[in-house]
Structure 1
């Protein structure tokens, strides 16, 4: 096993949904919900929800690249949200729900740009991809009650109505890559 872990950071809508998806993947060690890409220091969930801090709800994934590579994470990222809607994912609207890849090095930046160009060239989406590709700055951990949200609240209405269908769609395509 590789002793060198890597980090990926994505903004692809509600972090409750995205955390639940990426936690399923083999090679993913941790998925931490939080906020990045904004101007306010130490933002709170309440502040980020106003859409005025500039932050995206994001997840920071620690993974073993010997088990799952960055490209596979990007494939899941693009499959499990709509990268063509500006500042919106489903019923969640605002800049905090934007589609964003926060790269940690030049290799991640190049891979993100390459996959966007490939998906565009292949015409995978009818509308243009609006995913921003931005260098990571400071990642702020979300409050404790947001962490592991789905696993701690599976019977909550939002989890049943919104997260479960996303997990079902994910499992149909990526079930062989899950723990």
Structure 2
């Protein structure tokens, strides 16, 4: 068994801890704060010595590769510039050496390419949908301002623009990690009924199950499913 360590930030450490603790091949997750060697981009300004809420993740790359960890991190937090608390939660992956840096960079580039392709397909679909509705498109502005306004909204560029928000995820070298209070570790799985867990963490884990169920052990799936049932009871 091989062991590697990566750090992640982009949201509260309880959320990230729960996500990574839910994965096969992850041996240990510690919530805390990372100080990177590099300057961190905060509100478009490079800042030195930033102490960032984060998690350290010990994992076996033969079971879960770096590419999967990076993809899951991007799936379960908002890495775009639209995050209203981006200055507090900078989106980043923290590495220890150049080989990790290259692997993370490759993973992020591949995800960006996939998103670009997906956006292109969505734009074509929106365009095709608009062309299949000649009545709305040809409606004169003078006859129906409301129809004309809605027609302008089917522009492929405008419809796809939310999905085109650029990822702000940085790749940074770790300088120092400070663990949080041990009494606060394993926050979700120690007591998943907490209101914070139901409001913020369970939805992220639900997303994880939707896209990466095969990477989540059965015991974790059982806990998540139970919380999903509480959050969304059947009528």
User: Are 2:98 and 1:106 equivalent residues in the alignment?
Assistant: yes
Note closer, same or farther for the CA distance 1:94–1:79 as it changes in structure 2 (3 Å cut): closer
Are 2:226 and 1:166 aligned?
no
Q: Would you tell me which structure has more helix in proportion to its own residues?
A: 2
| 1:18 counterpart (12, 16, 19) | 16
Match of 2:52 among 56, 76, 97: 56
| Cα RMSD after superposing both structures | 2.0
| In 2, Cα distance between equivalents of 1:145 and 1:13 | 20
TM-score, structure 2 normalization:
0.63
Unaligned 5+ residue runs, structure 2?
A: 38-48, 119-162, 218-235
Give the counterpart of 1:69 among 36, 44, 65. Answer: 65
Displacement of 1:94: 5.3
* Cα distance, 1:67–1:116 mapped onto 2, change above 3 Å: closer
**1:127 aligns to 2:179 (yes or no):** no
In the alignment, the residues of structure 1 paired with residue 108 and residue 59 of structure 2 have an alpha-carbon distance, to the nearest angstrom, of 22
Q: Distance in 2 between matches of 1:94 and 1:176?
A: 31
Q: Does 1:32 align with 2:30?
A: yes
Task: Using the TM superposition, give the Cα deviation of residue 139 of structure 1 relative to its aligned residue in structure 2, in angstroms.
Answer: 0.7
Secondary structure in structure 1 of the residue aligned to 2:164: coil
TM-score, length of structure 1 as denominator length? 0.81
Contact 2:36 2:173 in 1 (8 A): no
Partner of 1:9: 7
In structure 1, runs of 5+ residues without a counterpart are: 40-52
Match of 1:142 in 2: 180
Aligned twin of 2:216: 178
Aligned position for 1:151: 189
Aligned length: 160
Q: Which has the larger radius of gyration?
A: 2
How far off its partner does 1:119 sit?
2.8
Q: Choose 95-104 or 131-140, whichever is displaced more.
A: 95-104
Contact 1:54 1:95 in 2 (8 A): no
